[in-house]
Structure 1
Amino acid sequence: MSTAHSSPRGGVTVGTLSELPPLEAGAVIYLRHWFSGAETREQMRLDFEVNFGPEMAEAAFEAFGSLCNFCATHGRRPLVRHGMACNCLGADENCFANLLASAAEGQQDDAQILAALIVTPRKASELTQLASDCGLLMQQVMGPRPPLQPARPDTATLH
């Protein structure tokens, strides 16, 4: 097995953006915007103003930026992202989106596990808190979520 030219595992396609609920899809799209440069960040800021309204836009933009910058600064490695127009969902993007959603929904144990995949365990609690703050803001705009599942399901089998 040769690893000389292998693709980063974090970029492996695990689904499509169209399969995600609104909060998670938004998290991936905005993650791509944040790390694609000043022009796309400005597009993101304008999108936040349209979607969040002027009162919440700045807080949401700052919260999302803090979350992304924390991942970049304290990440185990850079998060692998697909292109801006790509409908694929990469493994790292999926982890980030699920971190944001689980933290926003108050599923702290799941959020901690996902955070520890992105940053070292020592930084996971801090990342979880940032994800919770950001996710709660974004959740207000994305609309109501389905009821939470019980914390301890009878079985971990979905189908």
Structure 2
Amino acid sequence: MSTHSSRGGAAVGRLSDLSPIEAGAVMYLRLWSESPEARADAASDFEIALGLDQGRAAMMTLDRLCGLCAHHGRRPLVRHGLGCSCLGADENCFAQMIAAASEGAREDAMMMATLIVRPDFAPALASLSEEMGMVLRRMTASVPLPTTGHKTPSAVLH
């Protein structure tokens, strides 16, 4: 494991320590990163909680958000497995960015976005974080966020 990946994957807490919005952000990042089947599970969650049209829009937001991180990241985000209760440093930064944006703390969200992506993409990431945060806010008002039982592949930390 390289220095960068161990730093980003270092456990800094537990998912149970997070607010529902923060935990949801981490779980949907993990689902999006896992596999096409896991992405379909995320899309299904959104459609069940928000209805067909808003669910599809939420999945598009997640795709754009995670895609931006994957394609324009300062380095690859390190994540833990779907069933892992640990919270990695990169995952925590991602969750805090979305939570801050959902609360209207745009400057804080922008600061965290610059830790994840190149500075020229930070405004777009902060904006998408606000959209995703509002999705998670609507979802937590209606149904609990997922606790998935997917198996952890060997490419992730736990």
TM-score, reference length from structure 1: 0.83
| Equivalent residue number for residue 98 of structure 2 | 100
The amino acid of 2:31's aligned partner reads H
| Equivalent residue number for residue 81 of structure 2 | 83
| Equivalent residue number for residue 19 of structure 1 | 17
Structure 1, residues 47-105: CA drift from partner, whole Å, max 9, x if none?
11222222311011110111000000110011000011000000000000111111111
Does residue 1:40 correspond to 2:71, yes or no? no
Deviation at 1:143, TM superposition (A): 2.6
| Equivalent residue number for residue 68 of structure 1 | 66
Paired with 1:24 and 1:6, the residues of 2 have a C-alpha distance of 23
Paired with 1:33 and 1:4, the residues of 2 have a C-alpha distance of 24
Closer, same or farther: CA 76–6 of 1 in aligned 2, 3 Å: closer
Q: 1:112 aligns with which of 110, 124, 127?
A: 110
Between 1 and 2, higher relative CO (CA 8 Å, sep ≥ 6) is seen in 2
Deviation at 1:109, TM superposition (A): 1.1
State the percentage of identical aligned residues: 47
Structure 1, residues 101-154: CA drift from partner, whole Å, max 9, x if none?
11111101110110000012222111111111221122122139xxxxxxxxxx
Structure 1 consecutive aligned stretches of length 4 or more whose deviation exceeds 3 Å: 3-7
Closer, same or farther: CA 119–143 of 1 in aligned 2, 3 Å: same
Deviation at 1:35, TM superposition (A): 0.6
| Equivalent residue number for residue 155 of structure 1 | none
Judge conservation of contact 1:60–1:138 (CA < 8 Å) in 2. Answer: no
Computing the radius of gyration from Cα coordinates, the structure with the larger value is 1
User: Structure 1: 5+ residue runs without aligned partners?
Assistant: 145-159
Judge conservation of contact 2:113–2:125 (CA < 8 Å) in 1. Answer: yes
Deviation at 1:5, TM superposition (A): 7.7
Judge conservation of contact 1:13–1:88 (CA < 8 Å) in 2. Answer: yes
Closer, same or farther: CA 5–92 of 1 in aligned 2, 3 Å: closer
C-alpha RMSD of the superposition = 1.9
Question: Quick check: which one's helix share is greater?
Answer: 2
- State the number of aligned residues: 142
The amino acid of 2:131's aligned partner reads D
Closer, same or farther: CA 60–109 of 1 in aligned 2, 3 Å: same
Paired with 1:92 and 1:66, the residues of 2 have a C-alpha distance of 18
Paired with 1:66 and 1:4, the residues of 2 have a C-alpha distance of 27
Paired with 2:5 and 2:97, the residues of 1 have a C-alpha distance of 23
Q: 1:56 aligns with which of 38, 54, 57?
A: 54
Judge conservation of contact 1:102–1:111 (CA < 8 Å) in 2. Answer: yes
Secondary structure of residue in 1 paired with 2:34? coil
